[in-house]
Amino acid sequence: MSEQKFHIEDDPLDDLVRKSLSEVQPEPSTGVWKRLSRQLLHSELRRLHFANLPASFWGIAIPAAVIITGVTIYFGVVRQGTAPPPVSEPETQQVAPIPSVRPTTPMAQPVSPVAQLVPPVVQPTSPATQPAVPEAQSVSSIVPSSEPAETVAVQESVITVDASATSREFIPLLNSLPPEPIYSGSTSLPNIRSIPNPIPQEVPGEPLPKPLSRSLDMGINITPDMVFYRNTSGSFKYNYTFDLGARYNLGRFYIQSGAGVTYSTDIGDYAISYLNNDSVGFYYSINSFTIEPGGPPQFEMKQVTVYDSVQYLYDYSTKNRYYYLQIPLTAGYRIIDKRTWRLSVEAGLLYAYLFSLNEPAPSFYIPEGRILHIERRNPERNRNSLGITGGISMEYQFARNFFLLIEPTFKYYLQAIDENSSRGDKQPYSIGLRAGIWYRLHFKNKPR
Amino acid sequence: MLYQHFAPPMLALCMRYCRNREEAEDVLQEGFIKIFQKISTFRQSGSLEGWIRRIMINQAINHLKAKKMVFLDTDPQMLGNRIPDEGPAEQVEQLYKPEEVLEAIQALPPGYKVVFNLYVFEGYSHREIAEELEISENTSKSQLSRARNYLRKTLAEHRKKYMNTNR
């Protein structure tokens, strides 16, 4: 089975040992394969690192990200802003074209110098426009003129009136304006003056911009993280973060920050070298011997064990605890914004500060030995660390102002956790799941 | 499957280098990680088992190096076979169960154990062992002598127990 070669001058003991163990082939326990496959998966995950990705990936990913972002912004912001307002919106009302003005006097009659108001025929487009009718009458006031009648067509237009503000603000203005000649749409309306309509008019296809909604969210969250230190052992640790977050929303965009406390553990690795007396061999001492005629000498022997001071190395582990203050600053965009649920992407920076730690010292007792040296194998941790963070936030609104948040997060630390760069655990990253409950405070938009 | 085929003999190998089965399984696991990660670098011209065995031995030695194994340098001439012959080989084999021999090897100090395994089971010369472990040839020889004496002592104790129980 093997390619072993053996020495010509072997000790009989060597052969004995080889033969004894030649058939020994124990089956590994089932846990070995489980751990092995899990570690292989972790090593594959570790290889999936931004710096390791091939150039072809970036060649596809960057244009794809630009296209997706562009399309999202176009349909999410530009198209939303230009879409016609819904009919039921009370703020905006459409008024029918300026009516054909019915003359109050026959054409042949001389026009009275007294101003005459001729109510236009207003055609409401929906029941909601009913209250605007009197105001519309005022807007389209027509003042008769004493000038000779001319035959000029009256331009028809569609007027968009903000019923809440426009009339109140502009009617006094209208009344103060001097009369101006206007020409009627038919030869039957001479000497009519019209005041130009100062109300902002909607150009077809370009509605008035809708104000962006503003709100402030505040929430409390917990985030279990799997932190991959990227060292040779391939292990990962669990971190737990409790945080208070605040988010300012402007339309579909938001800025988020807050403060959190992260609890993290690690193994304190110590190597303790010590001296201890141990047997290093033995020999046979001859106590006496007898010589009988015709036979070999008979020896009486006793075994003597040789002791020596032997240096040993003992691995000692402790459980260290670390507490970090984490302050994120992220910006996000809401891709999907439904009534009860929302989906957002966010990314930003993360600052972490180690404000408390508990590293118990090794306690090792050797009854008959002497400790030579205690070596600390894992270096001290850095106090400050900066990282980038990102996530996909899913929100479910279960009450008027409350919503639940579930957010898979990714954090990549730009600095190592400890001060020794030779350890190979620079720039750890983590994958976590942030979950919390949030409260939304709506801001009212100022009237225009 | 690669693992199913090679895991038992490789575990036997690891158990000779380690103190117990749990430690050996850890070494086996780390060794197979390297095997799976580097299987693409294996050249078909050589023996797959030899390649796997080489990785496992390196892994076991690295494991012991991490434990800071100590090589005490002693003149090998000072140590000899100070135990009487055990008798015919067949009788000796009947005396010891494989588990007892394995236990005795596992109980060796790390320095002895590595040299003994490399010499006896892998067929390394003292020069090769010296290069592999970065020690002198004399150290390798002394480690081997010490290992043999240590094993003899341990096995002799087993023998005494065996004789006492069969009287």
Q: Could you report the per-residue pLDDT of B15-59, keeping only the tens digit for each?
A: 999 988 888 999 999 999 889 888 878 776 778 888 899 899 999
Query: Quick one: average pLDDT of A342-346?
Result: 94
Chain B contact for A437, CB < 8 A? no
What's the per-residue H, E or C state across B23-46? HHHHHHHHHHHHHHHHHHHCCCCC
The pLDDT assigned to A272 comes to 82
Is residue A224 domain-shared with residue A184, that is, in the same domain? no
CATH code, domain with B26: 1.10.1740.10
Name the residue facing A17 among B28, B33, B120 (closest C-beta): B120
**pLDDT 10s digits, A429-448:** 899 999 999 999 988 766 55
CATH code, domain with A272: 2.40.160.20
Which of B66, B87, B112 is the last residue before a domain boundary? B66
Is residue A127 domain-shared with residue A271, that is, in the same domain? no
Report residue A406 CA to chain centroid gap: 10
- For residue A63, the enclosing domain spans 33-83
Which of A24, A49, A83 is the last residue before a domain boundary? A83
Query: Quick one: average pLDDT of A193-210?
Result: 58
The pLDDT assigned to A202 comes to 53
Predicted ipTM beyond 0.95: no
Is residue B102 domain-shared with residue B147, that is, in the same domain? yes
A16 CA to chain B: closest CA distance, Å? 6
The pLDDT assigned to A325 comes to 95
Is residue B142 domain-shared with residue B85, that is, in the same domain? yes
Residue type present at position A429: Y
Chain A contact for B78, CB < 8 A? no
Is residue B50 domain-shared with residue B97, that is, in the same domain? no
Name the residue facing B11 among A14, A18, A26 (closest C-beta): A26
Whole-number Å distance between alpha carbons of B104 and A121:
112
Cβ distance B96 to A26 less than 8 Å, yes or no, reads no
Burial of B4 (0-12, 13-18, 19+ CB in 10 A): exposed
The pLDDT assigned to A197 comes to 57
Residue A432 lies in a domain: yes
Strand, helix or coil for residue B96: coil
The pLDDT assigned to A117 comes to 43
Is residue A266 domain-shared with residue A368, that is, in the same domain? yes
- From chain A, the residues in CB contact with B7 under 8 A are 27-28, 32
Q: Say yes or no to pLDDT of A112 above 50.
A: no
Residue B11 lies in a domain: yes
**Which of A232-250 are b and which e, b meaning 16 or more Cβ less than 10 Å from the residue's Cβ?**
eebebeebebebebebebe
The pLDDT assigned to B167 comes to 61
Is residue B62 domain-shared with residue B87, that is, in the same domain? no
Is residue A260 domain-shared with residue A144, that is, in the same domain? no
Residue B59 lies in a domain: yes
CATH code, domain with B136: 1.10.10.10
The pLDDT assigned to A268 comes to 84
More confident residue, B44 or A170: B44
The pLDDT assigned to B15 comes to 92
Residue A209 lies in a domain: no
Residue B51 lies in a domain: yes
CB count within 10 Å of CB A10 equals: 14
Query: Which of the residue ranges A112-116, A193-197, B160-164 has the most confident prediction, judged by mean pLDDT?
Result: B160-164
Q: Say yes or no to pLDDT of A356 above 90.
A: yes
Is residue B87 domain-shared with residue B116, that is, in the same domain? yes
- Measured between CA atoms, the residue of chain B closest to residue A314 is B67
- Mutual orientation of helices B137-165 and A12-21 as an angle, nearest 10°? 70
> Which own/partner pairs from B132-139 qualify as long-range (CB within 8 Å, at least 24 positions apart)?
B132/B61, B133/B61, B133/B71, B135/B71, B136/B73, B138/B73, B138/B75, B138/B76, B139/B71, B139/B73
The pLDDT assigned to A187 comes to 47
Residue A241 lies in a domain: yes
Query: Which of the residue ranges A103-117, A149-163, B47-61, B152-166 has the most confident prediction, judged by mean pLDDT?
Result: B47-61
User: A442 with A397: CB under 8 angstroms?
Assistant: no
Is residue A41 domain-shared with residue A110, that is, in the same domain? no
Residues 22-51 of A with CB under 8 A from B: 23-29, 31-33, 35-36, 39-40, 43
Is residue B8 domain-shared with residue B29, that is, in the same domain? yes
Is residue A334 domain-shared with residue A364, that is, in the same domain? yes
- For residue B148, the enclosing domain spans 76-165
Is residue A126 domain-shared with residue A257, that is, in the same domain? no
Is residue A363 domain-shared with residue A281, that is, in the same domain? yes
Q: Say yes or no to pLDDT of A396 above 70.
A: yes
Is residue A100 domain-shared with residue A43, that is, in the same domain? no
Number of domains in chain B: 2
Report residue B61 CA to chain centroid gap: 10
Residue B71 lies in a domain: no
Whole-number Å distance between alpha carbons of A330 and A254:
8
B149 CA to chain A: closest CA distance, Å? 6
Residue A95: pLDDT band by 50, 70, 90 thresholds? very low
- Measured between CA atoms, the residue of chain B closest to residue A27 is B8
Residue A207: pLDDT band by 50, 70, 90 thresholds? low
Q: Say yes or no to pLDDT of A156 above 50.
A: no
Is residue A58 domain-shared with residue A132, that is, in the same domain? no
Q: Say yes or no to pLDDT of A52 above 70.
A: no
Residue A3 lies in a domain: no
- From chain A, the residues in CB contact with B127 under 8 A are none
Q: What token pair was written down for A43? A: 């090593």
The CA distances from residue A3 to B50, B109, B122, B127, in Å, are: 7, 26, 8, 19
> Which own/partner pairs from A229-237 qualify as long-range (CB within 8 Å, at least 24 positions apart)?
A229/A417, A229/A425, A229/A428, A230/A46, A230/A424, A230/A425, A230/A426, A230/A427, A230/A428, A230/A429, A231/A423, A231/A424, A231/A425, A232/A424, A234/A39, A234/A42, A234/A43, A234/A46, A234/B33, A235/A42, A236/A42, A237/A264, A237/A265, A237/A266
Query: Quick one: average pLDDT of A192-217?
Result: 65
Task: Identify the CA nearest to A404 among candidates A435, A374, A370.
Answer: A435
Is residue B88 domain-shared with residue B22, that is, in the same domain? no
Is residue B61 domain-shared with residue B104, that is, in the same domain? no
More confident residue, A387 or B160: A387
Q: Say yes or no to pLDDT of B2 above 90.
A: no
Q: Say yes or no to pLDDT of A119 above 50.
A: no
Which of B66, B95, B118 is the last residue before a domain boundary? B66
**Which of A340-362 are b and which e, b meaning 16 or more Cβ less than 10 Å from the residue's Cβ?**
eebebebebebebebeeeeeeeb
- Mutual orientation of helices B98-106 and B2-17 as an angle, nearest 10°? 60
Number of domains in chain A: 3
More confident residue, A397 or B65: A397
Residue A367 lies in a domain: yes
Is residue A368 domain-shared with residue A237, that is, in the same domain? yes
The pLDDT assigned to B13 comes to 92
**pLDDT 10s digits, A235-255:** 678 899 999 999 999 989 999
Give me chain A's average pLDDT, please: 72
More confident residue, A181 or B63: B63
Residue B32 lies in a domain: yes
Is residue B108 domain-shared with residue B152, that is, in the same domain? yes
Residue A181 lies in a domain: yes
Is residue B150 domain-shared with residue B85, that is, in the same domain? yes
Q: What token pair was written down for A325? A: 């203050």
All residues at 6 or more sequence positions from A99 whose CB lies less than 8 Å from its CB, including other chains: A120, A121, A122, A140
**pLDDT 10s digits, B97-136:** 888 888 889 888 888 889 999 999 888 889 989 888 888 8
Whole-number Å distance between alpha carbons of A81 and A211:
9
Is residue B121 domain-shared with residue B50, that is, in the same domain? no
Which of B66, B94, B109 is the last residue before a domain boundary? B66
Task: Identify the CA nearest to A213 among candidates A247, A252, A246.
Answer: A252
Is residue B116 domain-shared with residue B39, that is, in the same domain? no
Residue A364 lies in a domain: yes
The pLDDT assigned to A267 comes to 82
Chain A contact for B103, CB < 8 A? no
Q: Say yes or no to pLDDT of B8 above 80.
A: yes
Is residue A223 domain-shared with residue A336, that is, in the same domain? yes
Whole-number Å distance between alpha carbons of A235 and A189:
92
The pTM for the full model equals 0.41
Name the residue facing B67 among A4, A15, A313 (closest C-beta): A313
Whole-number Å distance between alpha carbons of A398 and A192:
61
* Residue whose token pair is 């799976």: B36
Residue A14 lies in a domain: no
The pLDDT assigned to B149 comes to 87
